[in-house]
Amino acid sequence: MTTNLLDVAGVAVSPDHYIGGQRVASAQTFELHSPIDQRLLGHIGEGSAEHVDAAIRAAQAAFPAWSRMTAAERKPYLDRFAQEIGKRADDFCRLESNDAGVLLSRMRHGVVPRAMLNITWFAQHALELQDRPIDTEQAHHIVRHDPAGVVAIITPWNAPLMLSTWKLGPALAAGNTCVLKPPEWAPLTCSLLADAAHAAGLPPGVFNVVQGSGAGTGAKLVSDARIARVSFTGSVPTAKWIAQAAGANLVPCSLELGGKSPFIVLEDADIDNAAATGALMYRNAGQVCLAGTRFLVHEKIADRFVAAMRDYVERLVIGDPREESTEVGPIIHSRQVERVLGFVERAVAGGAQVLWGGERHPFGAQYVRPTMLTNLKQSDEIVQNEVFGPVLTLQTFASDDEAIELANGTDYGLGGVCYGETAHATEVAQSVRTGFIWVNSFGIRDLAAPFGGIKRSGVGREGGDWSFEFFCDIKDVVVPK
């Protein structure tokens, strides 16, 4: 594959699209800057209507052969794909910590192994997805999971490698072909994924990457009537736009969106454990969709909880995400910094009290101190809206019922955290209206489990069988007895 390569932190990476097994350059490009120090990393191709069309045609051309293979025949390709990701582990780590500001330690120990598992686990699980027979008096039903066709995958900048593979794994294992539109603020690991797929010998057109902006390239992709599924992770406003565009073609969408998840600390919680986990919400500078961002703490333990969490927060290492010891890195973009600080300023002007943080951090232009605000009303903007930065809120409650009411009192419903005596916390957790909630823990993810949000946090579920239900056409072959 010849291509014009960028050198990003010693890693050679293509700024071009990957269409039909070839690198394709764009006349039009956009600048990519690092969130760490704003240096120019390179110029990335902006996908035109012709690039989107070529990628869809390549995916359509590859579909018959790829979809006709059995899951067992596809599995070696996907296992090799994962191995090729593994061979480039260090490069993936360096690229995503440079373009997205993701912690190098998190990339090395969490994201890259998980990206490999996203491919191998679904390849294996596809083998177990047997055609399910249903026998009645009248007929024998063979319920098939047929691949749907060309899948459009759109991912956000906060976890590009993890989320792209989370969708690619099941989509490809089910026999679909894919066109991925990576996030324009962090496009590099998705480009390297194409190198891994190429080296693994994935047939040309099975996996395509078209770089570019959301409103330009992304919009063209999701509006195309040849697309069979749209799998999107990102913000609510974009999701509404995509749902309308895909809806015009009656194309099913899976929408994994933002959150304003409650972090409940009951009166009988282990305060120190809860506080230690609480400080983890600042990892990735709070740019984590599933983080608990609204602390709801029983009024009798609130002072002790605040003191314990402050202790953990003061010890957080803020700095360069490329350093193994760093725990809080930069915010992705200067526009996002302004947005985050705007939320804080308006909250303070409205009477909020800053428990800690509330301002820029001197490490760099795109760093904001871990922040906690209190003295808030449920209707306040900062309680109701996703900030997507290192800014948390704290409210107190006097009873379980009040905690549940506050927890459920936003339009979001992605996740949650509930600390307390296990049976008590489990009971409270059951009443919180979200797609998932962790009891006395945070971040445990199992690929067999469903993942997704309710209310404004999303439509549909991915993970385990749910991914296959979305990426497949389910067909009933009825054979009379």
How far apart are the C-alpha atoms of 39 and 277, rounded to whole Å? 33
248 three-class SS = helix
The binder of ligand NAD chosen from 35, 183, 364, 413 (CB under 6 A): 183
Q: Which helix (H) or strand (E) holds 395?
A: strand 391-397
Let me know if 381 is a catalytic residue: no
Stretch of 3-11, 36-44, 155-163, 343-351 lying at the interface with ligand NAD (CB under 6 A):
155-163
How far apart are the C-alpha atoms of 101 and 95, rounded to whole Å? 9
The least distance separating ligand NAD from the CB of residue 340, rounded to whole angstroms, comes to 12
| Residue 233 in contact with ligand NAD, rule: CB under 6 A | yes
How far apart are the C-alpha atoms of 32 and 40, rounded to whole Å? 6
| Residue 257 in contact with ligand NAD, rule: CB under 6 A | yes
* Binding mask of the shown chain, residues 399 to 428, with x at each position contacting ligand NAD by CB under 6 A: ---------------x--------------
What are φ and ψ of residue 11, in 5° steps? Answer: -105, 130
The least distance separating ligand NAD from the CB of residue 45, rounded to whole angstroms, comes to 14
# residues contacting ligand NAD (CB under 6 A): 31
The least distance separating ligand NAD from the CB of residue 245, rounded to whole angstroms, comes to 7
Stretch of 107-115, 148-156, 397-405, 440-448 lying at the interface with ligand NAD (CB under 6 A):
148-156
Task: Compare residues 21 and 453 and give the one whose CB is closer to ligand NAD.
Answer: 453
The least distance separating ligand NAD from the CB of residue 159, rounded to whole angstroms, comes to 6
Radius of gyration in angstroms for the set of CA atoms belonging to the chain, rounded to a whole number: 23
Q: Do residues 433 and 412 touch, judged by C-beta distance below 8 A? A: no
Residues 200, 205, 210, 214: what is their CA dihedral angle, to the nearest 10 degrees? -110
How far apart are the C-alpha atoms of 283 and 106, rounded to whole Å? 9
How far apart are the C-alpha atoms of 174 and 465, rounded to whole Å? 11
Could you identify the residue written with the tokens 């480039």? 88
User: Hey, what are 56's tokens?
Assistant: 């869809």
Stretch of 63-71, 117-125, 208-216, 471-479 lying at the interface with ligand NAD (CB under 6 A):
208-216
Stretch of 56-64, 227-235, 393-401, 468-476 lying at the interface with ligand NAD (CB under 6 A):
227-235
User: Hey, what are 261's tokens?
Assistant: 């998840």
Question: Among 30, 59, 427, which Cα is nearest to 266's?
Answer: 427
Stretch of 198-206, 207-215, 274-282, 440-448 lying at the interface with ligand NAD (CB under 6 A):
207-215
Task: Compare residues 205 and 216 and give the one whose CB is closer to ligand NAD.
Answer: 216
Question: Among 288, 183, 163, 171, which Cα is nearest to 230's?
Answer: 171
Q: Do residues 470 and 231 touch, judged by C-beta distance below 8 A? A: yes
- Determine the distance from the C-alpha atom of residue 198 to the mean position of all C-alpha atoms in its chain, rounded to a whole number: 24
User: Hey, what are 134's tokens?
Assistant: 């249903």
| Amino acid making up residue 150 | V
| Residue 224 in contact with ligand NAD, rule: CB under 6 A | no
The least distance separating ligand NAD from the CB of residue 415, rounded to whole angstroms, comes to 9
The least distance separating ligand NAD from the CB of residue 288, rounded to whole angstroms, comes to 7
User: Hey, what are 217's tokens?
Assistant: 């390239």
The least distance separating ligand NAD from the CB of residue 271, rounded to whole angstroms, comes to 28
Q: Which of 84, 96, 184, 256 is catalytic?
A: 256
How far apart are the C-alpha atoms of 66 and 198, rounded to whole Å? 15
Stretch of 27-35, 209-217, 421-429, 472-480 lying at the interface with ligand NAD (CB under 6 A):
209-217
Stretch of 66-74, 104-112, 181-189, 303-311 lying at the interface with ligand NAD (CB under 6 A):
181-189
Residues 142, 143, 145, 148: what is their CA dihedral angle, to the nearest 10 degrees? 100
| Residue 235 in contact with ligand NAD, rule: CB under 6 A | yes
Q: Do residues 41 and 99 touch, judged by C-beta distance below 8 A? A: yes
How far apart are the C-alpha atoms of 399 and 395, rounded to whole Å? 13
The least distance separating ligand NAD from the CB of residue 386, rounded to whole angstroms, comes to 5
The least distance separating ligand NAD from the CB of residue 287, rounded to whole angstroms, comes to 7
| Residue 156 in contact with ligand NAD, rule: CB under 6 A | yes
The binder of ligand NAD chosen from 289, 297, 403, 447 (CB under 6 A): 289
| Residue 157 in contact with ligand NAD, rule: CB under 6 A | yes
| Amino acid making up residue 159 | A
How far apart are the C-alpha atoms of 385 and 397, rounded to whole Å? 20
| Residue 215 in contact with ligand NAD, rule: CB under 6 A | yes
What are φ and ψ of residue 410, in 5° steps? Answer: -135, 170
The least distance separating ligand NAD from the CB of residue 185, rounded to whole angstroms, comes to 7
What are φ and ψ of residue 213, in 5° steps? Answer: -75, 165
* Binding mask of the shown chain, residues 441 to 470, with x at each position contacting ligand NAD by CB under 6 A: ------------x----x------------
The binder of ligand NAD chosen from 238, 277, 326, 440 (CB under 6 A): 238
Task: Compare residues 286 and 319 and give the one whose CB is closer to ligand NAD.
Answer: 286
The binder of ligand NAD chosen from 285, 386, 442, 464 (CB under 6 A): 386
Task: Compare residues 183 and 319 and give the one whose CB is closer to ligand NAD.
Answer: 183
With 0-12 / 13-18 / 19 or more C-beta atoms within 10 angstroms meaning exposed / middle / buried, residue 307 is exposed
Active-site residues: which are they? 256
Binding site for ligand NAD (CB under 6 A): 154-159, 181, 183-184, 213-215, 218-219, 222, 233-235, 238, 241-242, 256-259, 289, 386, 388, 414, 453, 458
